[in-house]
């Protein structure tokens, strides 16, 4: 029954009950209302209002739950649904809302997968251009400067050597950017070697990264390993930029049917800050592979935990 007619029926039922009670009750109302008659009328009115409010509250309770869920729903934390039942005028609305959430989560997952795939392809393209074009160009500059250093006068040679060192440092930085954009070690040597290289890279920038890995880790597949690597990379980047951390523990372990990645730092923590684009990006990636990401306070700083289900063979 539509909600409009349900409300009309409830109010009509209450009025009928009130009218029948007044008609059958052995009471009368004088031309001048007496105190005892006024008490009966007030009590009857209160009873009608209370009965009407109880019936309406029972009928519209699912609508209140729907409003609360709509205010708190987050597509990055999927799976929340309203309980469905066969009673109530708003149950078709509840079922429709749950179906809408299902479609939104499915479409969001598909669009995120396409967007992240395009992002990785663009990362590979930029990394290849940095390595093949800019890297080779800087290498040619270094070779030319090396040849010139033996032919220029002594007063100019020191300046030339400084330019040569600047070009060499720029070349190293370009190669580092290319490695971060396209983790070739992940494709060539696997996830554990890539995490080791990642820990070494961040340790060389003043933050001590301790890596812990349990033996006998299963193969996760290229897509899942890439997500684990990107989450670890983003978590270490956040620890270095925002947490003011001096040491970080990067761990990869097997726990039942899941592989668990944890990144724990000793920084200042989240301090109630809202999630930025980095954490939201990690959540988007984890949803693509059915993993569960948890970001919150740790023992001393911030703790990032990614639970990746192992594919059953």
* pTM across the whole model: 0.60
Task: Give the Cα separation of 163 and 146 in Å (integer).
Answer: 10
Compute the average pLDDT of residues 100-114: 78
pLDDT of res. 260: 92
Of 102, 3, 11, the closest CA to residue 60 belongs to 3
Query: How sure is the predictor about 25, in pLDDT bands with cuts at 50, 70 and 90?
Result: low
Angle at the Cα of 60 from the Cα atoms of 59 and 64, rounded to 5 degrees: 150
User: How many CB atoms neighbour CB 193 within 10 A?
Assistant: 13
pLDDT at position 2, please? 60
**pLDDT given at position 29:** 57
pLDDT digit string (tens) for 86-103? 655 567 777 787 888 888
Beta strand 292-297 with 302-309 is antiparallel
Q: For residue 169, give both structure tokens.
A: 């440092």
* Mean pLDDT on 116-130: 77
The gap from C-alpha 162 to its chain's centroid, in whole angstroms, comes to 46
Angle at 85 between CA 84 and CA 90, to 5 degrees: 80
- What does the pLDDT look like over 173-192, one tens digit per residue? 887 777 777 777 777 778 88
pLDDT averaged over every residue in the chain: 78
- The answer to whether residue 107 scores a pLDDT higher than 70 is yes
Long-range contacts of the stretch 245-250 (C-beta < 8 A, 24+): 245/207, 245/301, 246/207, 246/208, 247/207, 247/208, 247/209, 247/210, 248/202, 248/207, 248/208, 248/209, 248/210, 249/209, 249/210, 249/212, 250/195, 250/198, 250/199, 250/209, 250/210, 250/211, 250/212
Please give the residue that has the higher pLDDT: either 100 or 4: 100
Mean pLDDT of 212-216: 81
Measured CA to CA, the distance from residue 311 to residue 289 in angstroms comes to 10
pLDDT at 306: 92
């Amino acid at each position: 029954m539509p909600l409009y007619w349900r409300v009309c029926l409830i109010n009509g039922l209450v009025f009928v009950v009130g009218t029948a009670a007044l008609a059958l009750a052995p009471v009368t109302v004088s031309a001048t209302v007496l105190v005892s008659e006024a008490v009966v009328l007030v009590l009857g009115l209160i009873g009608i209002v209370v009965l009407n409010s109880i019936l309406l509250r029972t009928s519209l309770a699912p609508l209140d739950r729907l409003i609360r869920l709509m205010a708190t729903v987050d597509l990055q934390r999927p799976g929340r649904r309203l309980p469905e039942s066969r009673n109530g005028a708003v149950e078709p609305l509840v079922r429709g809302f749950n179906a809408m959430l299902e479609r939104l989560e499915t479409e969001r997952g598909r669009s995120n997968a396409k967007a992240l795939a395009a992002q990785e392809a663009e990362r590979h393209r930029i990394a290849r251009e940095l390595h093949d074009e800019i890297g080779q160009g800087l290498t040619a500059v270094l070779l030319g400067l090396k040849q010139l250093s033996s032919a220029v006068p002594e007063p100019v040679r020191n300046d030339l050597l400084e330019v040569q060192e600047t070009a060499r440092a720029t070349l190293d930085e370009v190669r580092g950017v290319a490695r971060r954009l396209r983790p070739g070690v992940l494709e060539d040597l696997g996830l554990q070697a890539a995490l080791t290289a990642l820990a070494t890279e961040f340790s060389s920038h003043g933050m001590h990264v301790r890596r812990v890995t349990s033996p006998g880790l299963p193969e996760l597949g290229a897509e899942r390993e890439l997500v684990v690597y990107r989450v670890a990379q983003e978590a270490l980047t956040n620890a270095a930029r925002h947490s003011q951390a001096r040491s970080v523990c990067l761990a990869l372990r097997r726990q039942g049917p899941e592989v668990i990645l944890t990144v724990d730092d000793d920084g200042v923590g989240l301090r109630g800050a809202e999630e930025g684009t980095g954490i939201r990006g990690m959540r988007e990636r984890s949803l693509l592979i059915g993993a569960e990401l948890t970001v919150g306070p740790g023992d001393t700083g911030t703790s990032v935990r990614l639970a990746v289900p192992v594919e059953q063979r």
